[in-house]
Amino acid sequence: MSPLVLCLAAALAAPKVSNVNRRVEEPPAEPIRVRLEVGGHLGFPHWLGVVARSTWHFAEKPRFDLDVQWEPSNYLQSYSVGGAWRPLDSIVYVGPRLRWLQFVPPWSRAYDAAGSNKLGLSAEAGVRVPLGAEKRAVLGAGLFATWVPAQPANLSFLFGLTVGLTYGLVDFDVPQAR
Amino acid sequence: MRLLLPLFIGVVAWGCRPPANLPKAVPIDFASTGGPSTFSAEATLLERWDGGVLERRWTRGELGHFQGVDGLALRYSVHRASPSRGAVVLVPGRTEAMMKWAEVIDDLVANGYSAYALDVRGQGASDRMLPNRDKGYVRAFDDYVTDLATFVRTVVRKDEPRNVFVLAHSMGGAIATLFLDEHPDLVTAVVLSSPMLEIHTGGFPAPVASSLGLTACSMGDGTDYAIGYGDFTEETDFAKSSVTSSQPRWAWKVGLYRDHPSIRLGGVTWRWLCEALNASSRATTLGRFATVPTLLLQAGADTVVKPGSQDRYCTESPSCQKSVFPNAKHELLNETDAIRNDALSQVLKFFAAKGNP
């Protein structure tokens, strides 16, 4: 029997306990810290917005954001859910947003339930810069393009930007599964 | 979940209405269909108007008014043919007063159709909604549609219950399209001339113009002029006309507004723009539900509205026939004789073919 085959047989026959021991020796997974923020923004075409956002920190650095937004107005309204990813855990973010758009608000006489409500899909990119020592305040600026598939002609694409401020109210940890 | 999400999106995005389940109507071959082909001539237009026969015929029309949404007094004029083959309701484009349709009305009456011309709210001799009469404003585009339904029900159908045709131009085309969707039973057939189903946004890319407009509408009541618009100014250079290639017809229109300052209208307000963007977008999607026989006249050299949405409307509608005039500018029925005669001839052949005996 060649030494190579003997070596392989020995490796296969080795007790599994050694693997268990190695796993036990690993440090426990660091929990994900989630910060809940609330704030608002200005911009166009949604000139005003309020936002509630959760920012998911890995090793103390933000990596993902999930938020809900309401952008009320006297004409174009948007209710949306957005997600964002921070490449390299940086201040830069990119992400999608699903919008329920009202191209005339329900309280206007021009509102028509069948024609005024549309779904839109946005692609967003921007920066979210933490401010202060505690980094609880976050200044954000972003650009987005919204596609409204059911709104042909001039309203099928909208461009926009936002500049806003949020403040982190609550932090909590979520255990990280390995 | 994989199935439900697209289904939910589909239902919300496209609505639950089933499309009109009709076979595509066989188009009329206008070239081989007999009918009138000569009409009012541009060369004699000015002399026939200034105290001439055309102006006399126009003044013989019965003027009236009815109450539109919010109690606005809306003016109309009726020009009867005797005997009458049916009523043609004229729905004007933006800025147009019914007097500007005098030449078309004359041709319709000469061919046996009674004409019912309307000044829509905020235009012509109808009530305006803002203190500055020059501002092109509407609070809700559907108000135009409701007013048109009131006009057809309370004025036109009382006279002509058998055949009610609609001849709508530009903005009137968007109004008529929405009106037909709500009241297909009130109309026998419709002709849409350069319907405003997609506004040409000029130097601004459409998404930028739309986003700007929606921002302005969101921030206030939208009563300010949109960027680049202002009070009425008289056109002075025929070469710059984006709506007609006919110099006499252009000069006649300029003279009308000079002699009748009360029917002038200036530029658009933000609110009008937003409502028009919304309405034209909605109208574009209604083709698949349309059941009323429709002839869509498309101007090949149009720089006011875009053809893409007209194409979509007509392709999706089982009852729509499109006719393209390659060299025509926006106002087909105000174009040079060669174009206008062809267009008007098709209008009359279409009405004759679709009307009830």
Give the per-residue pLDDT at A99: 96
Whether the Cβ atoms of residue A81 and residue A70 lie closer than 8 Å to each other: no
Å from A171 to nearest chain B CA?
A: 32
Residues of chain A with Cβ-Cβ distance to B209 below 8 Å are: 154
Give the per-residue pLDDT at B79: 97
Report how far residue A49's alpha carbon sits from residue A65's, in angstroms, rounded to the nearest whole number.
17
At residue B37, the 3 state secondary structure works out as coil
Average pLDDT over residues B77-84: 95
Confidence band of B24 (pLDDT split at 50, 70, 90): confident
Report how far residue B165's alpha carbon sits from residue B114's, in angstroms, rounded to the nearest whole number.
10
Provide the CATH topology of domain B35-354: Rossmann fold (3.40.50)
**B215/A45 touch (CB, cutoff 8 Å), yes or no:** yes
- pLDDT tens-digit readout, B28-42: 999 998 888 889 999
- pLDDT tens-digit readout, B201-221: 888 888 888 999 999 998 888
**Cβ atoms within 10 Å of B237's Cβ, excluding its own:** 7
DSSP for B120-176, written as a single string? -TTSTTSPPSSSSTT-B--S-HHHHHHHHHHHIIIIIHHH-SS-EEEEEETHHHHHH
Q: What are the CA-CA distances from residue A165 to residues A71, A81, A132, B168 (Å)?
A: 14, 18, 13, 50
Å from B58 to nearest chain A CA?
A: 35
Q: Which element (helix H / strand E) includes B207?
A: helix B206-219
Establish how many alpha carbons lie within 13 A of residue B245's alpha carbon, considering only the half-sphere containing its beta carbon: 16
- pLDDT tens-digit readout, B159-217: 998 999 999 999 999 999 999 999 999 999 999 999 999 999 888 888 888 999 999 99
What residues form DSSP beta bridges with A121?
A98, A147
Give the per-residue pLDDT at B70: 96
B64 touches A: beta carbon within 8 Å = no
Q: Verify cis geometry, omega within 30 degrees of 0, for the bond prior to B131.
A: no
Give the nearest partner residue to A154 out of B12, B210, B312, using CB atoms.
B210
Q: What percent of chain B has pLDDT over 70?
A: 96
Å from A83 to nearest chain B CA?
A: 17
Give the nearest partner residue to A44 out of B198, B211, B220, using CB atoms.
B211
Residues of chain A with Cβ-Cβ distance to B12 below 8 Å are: 100, 117-119
**B219/A115 touch (CB, cutoff 8 Å), yes or no:** no
**B12/A112 touch (CB, cutoff 8 Å), yes or no:** no
**B212/A104 touch (CB, cutoff 8 Å), yes or no:** no
> Looking at the domain covering A29-174, what would its CATH class be?
mainly beta
DSSP letter for A24, please.
H
Give the per-residue pLDDT at B126: 98
Residues of chain A with Cβ-Cβ distance to B201 below 8 Å are: 154
Give the per-residue pLDDT at B23: 86
A42 touches B: beta carbon within 8 Å = no
- pLDDT tens-digit readout, A73-89: 989 999 999 999 999 88
Residue of B nearest to A76 (CA): B218
- pLDDT tens-digit readout, A4-62: 555 455 555 555 544 555 555 667 778 899 999 999 999 999 999 999 999 999 988 99
A101 touches B: beta carbon within 8 Å = no
Lowest-confidence region among A32-36, A139-143, B6-10, B170-174: B6-10
Give the per-residue pLDDT at B233: 96
Give the per-residue pLDDT at A71: 95
DSSP letter for B262, please.
G
**A114/B15 touch (CB, cutoff 8 Å), yes or no:** yes
Mean pLDDT of chain B: 93
Average pLDDT over residues B68-83: 97
Lowest-confidence region among A103-107, A156-160, B326-330: A103-107
